[in-house]
Amino acid sequence: MTRTALIILVFLSFYNRSFSQEEKKVWSLEDCLLYAEDHNLTITDALLDQAVAEVTYDQSKLQKIPSITGNISQSLTNGYSIDPITSSYINEQISSTSSYLNAQVSLFNGNKLNNQIAQNKLLVQQSNLFVEEAKNNIGLSIIQSYLQALYLKESISIARKSLENSQQETLLSKKRYEAGAIAKKDYSDARSQEAKNQYELLNARNNYSAEITFLKQLLNLPQSQQLEITEPQETYLYPVPFSAEQIYLHSLQESPSIQASSMNIEISEKDIDIAKADFLPSLSLSGSLGSGYTSIQDMNFLDQYDLNFNQRVGLALSIPIFNQGATKASVRKAEIRKEQANIALENSKNELYQNITTAWQNYTSAEEQFNAAKLAIDAAKDSYQLASKQFEQGLINSADLIVSQNNYTTAQQNHLQAKYMVILYSRLLNFYNTNQLY
């Protein structure tokens, strides 16, 4: 083997190993949350809205400096016309060149511009809150989907174990049926239970696959990429040391959605000030520089431009007298929007309180169910193990064994569901209390 071929072989081996390791990456919940902050489309869209708000704010500040425009024109006129430079009536062909530089600045407009700048600054701050709100909403969806996927993943293990047990019971029933120890119905019941457990295993796998697909969509991961999640960890469970009322008071201070809703009131107040500015006079300053050349004058281009050079400065005062009630209507609309902003804030607070109290009730209920399920699963396991031994000894029929097995499977599922409900609502309450996803 040549040296070049050996190098290529080593490189391909390293590449394949690296690619394989990347494909087999195991995603923790924190990995998913961090990845979504940079790739989720909803968060990306909120960041773009934030960028637009910042551009609008920067552009509004520039409105305080003069606007300057320049103009250069060249014309050729034939026949009876007015010379654009001398304003003389001439009946001949005229070639003319003119250039102007104009500047204008607003000196006073009822403080409208300052209020627009202040409002745009508030909109930038609000857009920052909208970005945080988007991250929180997506983060909560990821937490729920991730924990649901873990629950379904463990459900697969339960379903697989139940199938293995029923397969062993079917084999035993077959032997006993062939030996004439049990009726055909008992053997058929065992086969039916095995088929039922096969279906439940397939259904559990499909549910897990569907949840992983949904999680990929939240992360904006290609569907072709593998997504392996970690087994549950103790860090997934947060203690809940506060009451629902205490958590609500903390959340009022930390929640970006509440802060953004509250900021709508300030934005509406600026709308009122902006609308009221149209009741007041406005004053603007303008000035211009210009010159030109015309072919009818017996002077060269530079001499004419020097001779025709002109300057202008002017003040314009605009006084509103009557505009069919448009300004008054604008002010009233802005006042109505402020009232609506107050109502929206109260609705947001009420919704937050309802979400927290519901999460608290679900958490305490799930905790009680989890403790009860731990006792139930032990009792159901003992009962199933006893029934299995009795079935082997011919003391009970397959129907009694199936009932015992189903009770044990149900106890396992109840225990598993209660565990993940405790984890989910403990994390949710911790988020409301700290505004931290992890």
What is the predicted pLDDT for the residue at 75? 86
Query: According to the model, what pLDDT value does residue 86 have?
Result: 72
Q: What is the mean pLDDT of residues 419-424?
A: 93
For residue 23, pLDDT over 80 is answered with: no
* Arithmetic mean of pLDDT over the chain: 89
Is the pLDDT assigned to residue 19 strictly greater than 60? no
Would you state the pLDDT for residue 5? 45
Residue 435 has pLDDT above 50, yes or no: yes
Which pLDDT belongs to residue 37?
93
- pLDDT computed for residue 14 by the predictor: 47
Mean of the pLDDT values across residues 4-12? 46
Q: Can you tell me the mean pLDDT for 257-272?
A: 96
The pLDDT assigned to 54 comes to: 97
Residue 340 has pLDDT above 70, yes or no: yes
> How sure is the predictor about 346, in pLDDT bands with cuts at 50, 70 and 90?
very high
Q: Is the pLDDT of residue 140 over 50?
A: yes
pLDDT at 376: 93
Whole-number pLDDT of residue 235: 63
Reported as a single tens digit per residue, the pLDDT across 179-238 is: 888 888 888 998 999 999 999 999 999 999 999 999 999 999 998 899 999 876 766 677
What pLDDT shows up at residue 10?
42
Q: For residues 166 and 274, what is the distance between their CA atoms, to the nearest angstrom?
A: 76
Question: What average pLDDT does the segment 88-113 reach?
Answer: 87
Q: Which CATH architecture has domain 25-64+109-280+320-434?
A: Up-down Bundle (1.20)
Question: What does the pLDDT read at residue 71?
Answer: 92
> What proportion of the chain, given as a percentage, has pLDDT over 90?
68
Residue-level pLDDT at 234: 65
Domain residue spans in the chain? 25-64+109-280+320-434
* Dist CA 33 CA 142 (whole Å): 7
Give the pLDDT score at 1. Answer: 46
Q: What is the pLDDT of residues 269-284, one digit of tens each?
A: 999 999 999 999 999 9
Highest mean pLDDT among 138-142, 304-308, 380-384, 400-404: 138-142
Residue 17 has pLDDT above 90, yes or no: no
Q: What is the pLDDT of residue 252?
A: 93
Split at pLDDT 50, 70, 90, the class of 46 is very high
